[in-house]
């Protein structure tokens, strides 16, 4: 939507909500309360709200466990032996993958480690890993400890790409320039899909192409992308990716994470990996035989018995994504975040900067606002008015109007507090 089509009024915000085909999805979620009223929740980029259907989904498996005990692996409504496989169709749609290219297992940082162990094969000449500077700490630690594990010096083996000339975010052409400069010393590019701090959405397709053109692997951490921006991982030829399920995917704290392995690798059962019995085909799993033979799919990286209880939470949540449709969610998200941006530009006299790209193709739901003076005070005022936003030093408030359960009126209320109190 063009900025000029927006209007700065509560009536306009309400009319947008009335015309919103996804408006009713808000009712499918539990909201914490503040002074007896549901909060306005802009923290879905950190921990998504609980879908009302999650309890029943977990209860179903508790019942199977209660009534069938070990029989639940092969019996019950959803035999646990295949439990995680039920999630693949929804995930494949959202991530732009074939069903055989996605799986759920473990948690995000664990999956990054397992996938990087398979894909990072440093040689004397080709051993460098490129990442964005200021990446999420867990990703920094994962890559730092990975290169140490190979006996390499992180200062030498890791290339961090930072914005140039005081810019707030990276230009794709600068990333590509750095990849080409690293050339045949570059073993792997491991970027986030959306930068957690600035909210910048990277051009995964161009980065992957550039990485491949110098013979490097392209892997991504999609923590802030999953359930936020639709992907085309298969078509973009991305080698591997991992994400968590507790941010936009609303599957609860520490819930089971996701992984993508492009089929050109997944089909190669000789690829090195750390294996476990849940990576075996189900047909041979309980033969308990010697010799690991992985499935020729992303699930060949599964190691352990499915975490049924929290996978049940993700299953319930993905059902809601199937109903809403990731493309409709994205369309609303572009419009909703655009409205937030429009209203922020209407503010007079408050000193702040939007450090997220203005181009909708370069961001997801989140806008990161840098308030040089009043950041913490603004967050506290918002909380006291029942609006949940996140604060990061020094002065950055991250506002993520998740299209699944946030409305235009919610965004207007946020603006109203800034206008009236600061
Ligand atoms: C949220 C997030 C994580 C968290 O990792 P866990 O292993 O789930 O604790 C890691 N990386 C990025 C980029 C994130 O946004």
Res 282: pLDDT: 84
Res 168: pLDDT: 87
Look at ligand 1, atom 1, and give the residue with the nearest C-alpha: 223
Which atom of ligand 1 is found nearest the CA of 254?
8
Ligand 1 near 116 CB (within 6 A): no
How far, in Å, CA of 24 to CA of 405, rounded?
A: 8
Res 1: pLDDT: 47
Look at ligand 1, atom 2, and give the residue with the nearest C-alpha: 223
Greatest CA separation found in the chain? Answer: 71
How many other β-carbons are positioned within 10 Å of the β-carbon of residue 55? 15
**Class of residue 160 by CB neighbours under 10 A (exposed 0-12, middle 13-18, buried 19+):** middle
Distance 312 CA to ligand 1 centre (A): 21
How far, in Å, CA of 313 to CA of 53, rounded?
A: 8
How far, in Å, CA of 183 to CA of 185, rounded?
A: 5
Res 4: pLDDT: 58
Look at ligand 1, atom 14, and give the residue with the nearest C-alpha: 223
Distances (CA, A) of 272 to 268, 283, 333, 352: 9, 22, 40, 49
Domain 3-51+325-421: CATH architecture, name and number where available: Alpha-Beta Complex (3.90)
Domain 58-322: CATH architecture, name and number where available: 3-Layer(aba) Sandwich (3.40)
Res 284: pLDDT: 82
Match 């951490």 to its residue by tokens.
Answer: 221
Q: Within the chain, which residues score under 70 in pLDDT?
A: 1-4
Which atom of ligand 1 is found nearest the CA of 247?
1
Ligand 1 near 249 CB (within 6 A): no
pTM over 0.85: yes
Ligand 1 near 236 CB (within 6 A): no
What is the SS3 assignment for 378-405? HHHHHHHCCEECEEECCCEEEEECCCCC
Buried b or exposed e, range 22-34, using 16+ CB within 10 angstroms: beebbebbebeee
Ligand 1 near 29 CB (within 6 A): no
How far, in Å, CA of 334 to CA of 364, rounded?
A: 7
Domain ranges of the chain: 3-51+325-421, 58-322
Which atom of ligand 1 is found nearest the CA of 244?
8
Ligand 1 near 136 CB (within 6 A): yes
How far, in Å, CA of 239 to CA of 219, rounded?
A: 6
β partners of residue 261: 240
Res 154: pLDDT: 98
């Amino acid at each position: 939507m063009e900025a000029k089509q927006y209007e700065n009024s509560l009536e306009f915000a309400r009319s947008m909500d009335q015309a919103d085909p996804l408006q009713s999805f808000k009712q499918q979620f539990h909201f914490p309360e503040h002074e007896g009223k549901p909060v306005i929740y802009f923290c879905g980029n950190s921990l998504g709200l609980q879908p009302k259907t999650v309890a029943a989904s977990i209860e179903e498996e508790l019942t199977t466990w209660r009534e069938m005990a070990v029989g639940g692996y092969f019996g019950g409504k959803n035999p646990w032996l295949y439990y995680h496989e039920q999630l693949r169709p929804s995930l494949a749609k959202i991530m732009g993958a074939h069903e055989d290219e996605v799986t759920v297992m473990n948690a995000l940082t664990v999956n990054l480690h397992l996938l990087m162990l398979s894909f990072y094969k440093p040689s004397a000449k080709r051993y460098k890993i490129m990442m964005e500077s200021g990446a999420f700490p867990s990703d920094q630690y994962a890559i730092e400890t990975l290169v140490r594990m190979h006996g390499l010096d992180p200062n030498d083996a890791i290339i961090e790409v930072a914005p140039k000339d005081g810019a707030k975010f990276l230009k794709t052409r600068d990333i590509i320039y750095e990849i080409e400069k690293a050339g045949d010393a570059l073993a792997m590019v491991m970027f986030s899909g959306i930068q957690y701090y600035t909210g910048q959405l990277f051009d995964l397709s161009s980065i992957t192409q550039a990485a491949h053109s110098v013979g490097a692997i392209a892997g991504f951490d999609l923590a802030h992308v999953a359930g936020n921006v639709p992907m085309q991982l298969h078509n973009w030829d991305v080698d591997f990716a991992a994400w968590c399920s507790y941010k936009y995917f609303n599957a609860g704290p520490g819930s089971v994470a996701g992984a993508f392995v492009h089929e050109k690798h997944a089909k190669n059962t000789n690829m090195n990996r750390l294996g476990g019995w849940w990576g075996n085909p189900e047909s041979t799993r309980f033969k308990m035989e010697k010799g690991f033979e992985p499935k020729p799919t992303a699930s060949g990286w599964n190691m352990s018995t499915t975490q049924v209880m929290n996978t049940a939470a993700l299953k319930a949540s993905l059902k809601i994504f199937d109903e809403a449709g990731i493309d409709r969610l994205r369309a609303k998200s572009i419009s909703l975040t655009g409205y937030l941006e429009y209203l922020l530009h209407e503010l007079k006299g408050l000193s702040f900067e939007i450090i997220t790209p203005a181009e909708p193709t370069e961001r997801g739901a989140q806008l990161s606002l840098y308030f040089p003076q009043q950041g913490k005070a603004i967050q506290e005022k918002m909380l006291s008015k029942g609006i949940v936003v996140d604060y990061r030093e020094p002065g950055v408030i991250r506002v993520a109007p998740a299209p699944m359960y946030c409305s235009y009126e919610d965004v207007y209320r946020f603006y109203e507090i800034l206008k009236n109190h600061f």
